[in-house]
Amino acid sequence: MTGKRSRFRRSKATTIQLTERDVTILKALEQHRFLTTDHLLALTNGTSRQGITRRLRELYDTKYIDRPRAQMMAMAYADKRPMMYGLGNEGAELLSNRFQMALPDIYWTEKNRRVKEKFVEHTLGISDFMVSLETACSDAGNIRIITKDAILTASPEATRRRRHPFRWQTRIHWNNLWHDIAIVPDIIFGLHYTDQPQGKNKAYFMVEIDRGTMPIIRTDIGQTSFARKLHSYADTFERKLHVEHFGIKNFRVLTVTTSHERIENMIAAYRSEIVERAPAGLFLFRSKNTTFASILEWQSATKHNVEIAPPTTKD
């Protein structure tokens, strides 16, 4: 009798013929870093979870994709946790050779092996957001995602030449002193509303994926807190650093967090820290534990439900 196959040990593989769906899976993993079975089912418009699970096993055995071991601990305590995948050596080689994608010359399996559980969990939170966004935009039919790469391509040359182009310096006035603090959003993207007139059809967003572990307010501005992020985004808005850095004339900050109670505390921090420096509409929130009709629906700092939409001013 054949024993049950180990989830983190490859079986002896046979040659497989890659399909268009397989290539979509590889490109999605290159774009998002880590994705679960459920993510890949959604991105490939699949209907059979059993079918894609079987195919992902075949791609894993043939080294096109990988199963990072950092997820083992989470799978031990999470109920029915879906398997998580990353790009494998064979998959990276195929994307580089057949599709001329500029991938780093690294040993992908070793890179995946070295990641830590904290990094995996945060990356999956980003993937949850982006996959939901892609699905919502596809369902809407009139919205196209502007990727961070597209934003960078259209940015000023000084930004494009930076080693870390999605990080910029802000100035925070705290306890009668000025502090230089860098801000790095978890995600930057735009939405192009194809049915809206030119100049009023694009909106840009910076996303914070909050896992509930970061203090909302601290007495020391040198330590990371959500309030410090609020101050940095307020400074970005006030001094138009988004225009200087990316050449975009509008942005909003979307925060995905763990509960409605935490959203209330974040809104309280906005009101106590920066209410006079940045409009409430600049910050939008939602809980990942809430069922939304669409990821495009959010709660503003005024506690009203709003839908992210194109700006009314030219960008």
Question: Quick check: 1 pLDDT over 60?
Answer: no
Residue 202's pLDDT is what?
93
Q: Tell me the C-alpha distance between 248 and 246, whole Å.
A: 5
Higher pLDDT, 59 or 123: 59
If you search the block for the tokens 């106590």, which residue do you land on? 272
Q: Tell me the C-alpha distance between 44 and 150, whole Å.
A: 23
Higher pLDDT, 241 or 99: 241
Length of the chain: 315
- Indicate the pLDDT class of residue 139, thresholds 50, 70 and 90: confident
Q: What is the mean pLDDT of the chain?
A: 87
Give the distance between the most distant pair of CA atoms in the chain. 74
Residue 65's pLDDT is what?
94
Return the exposure string of 262-284: e unless at least 16 CB atoms fall within 10 Å of the residue's CB, then b. Answer: bbeebbebbeebbeeebeeebbb
Give domain limits for the chain. 20-122, 141-307
25-29, 57-61, 139-143, 189-193: which has the minimum mean pLDDT? 139-143
pLDDT in tens, 206-224: 999 998 899 999 999 889 9
Residue 158's pLDDT is what?
96
18-27, 90-99, 245-254: which has the minimum mean pLDDT? 90-99
Question: Quick check: 294 pLDDT over 60?
Answer: no
Asked if 23 contacts 65 with a C-beta cutoff of 8 angstroms, the reply is no
Average pLDDT in the 57-62 region?
94
Question: Quick check: 304 pLDDT over 70?
Answer: no
Residue 6's pLDDT is what?
74
- Indicate the pLDDT class of residue 291, thresholds 50, 70 and 90: very low
Asked if 143 contacts 137 with a C-beta cutoff of 8 angstroms, the reply is yes
- Indicate the pLDDT class of residue 315, thresholds 50, 70 and 90: very low
pTM for the model stands at 0.84
Asked if 235 contacts 151 with a C-beta cutoff of 8 angstroms, the reply is no
Neighbours of 256 (CB within 10 A): 24
CB under 8 Å to 93, separation ≥6 — which residues?
Answer: none
Pick the CATH number of 20-122 from 1.10.10.10, 3.10.310.10, 3.20.10.10, 3.30.70.1290: 1.10.10.10
The full DSSP string for 270-300 is HHHHTTTTS-GGGEEEEETTS--S-TTEEEE
Q: Measure the N-to-C terminal CA separation of the chain; round to a whole number of Å.
A: 65
pLDDT in tens, 78-133: 556 789 999 999 999 999 888 878 776 666 777 887 877 778 888 888 998 999 88
Residue 146's pLDDT is what?
95
- Indicate the pLDDT class of residue 19, thresholds 50, 70 and 90: very high
Give whole-number Cα distances, 265 to 27, 213, 270, 285, 301, in Å: 38, 13, 9, 11, 11
Higher pLDDT, 54 or 307: 54
According to DSSP, residue 155 is labeled S
Nearest to 139 by CA among 148, 129, 147, 131: 131
Residue 78's pLDDT is what?
54
Q: Tell me the C-alpha distance between 71 and 106, whole Å.
A: 21
Residue 293's pLDDT is what?
43
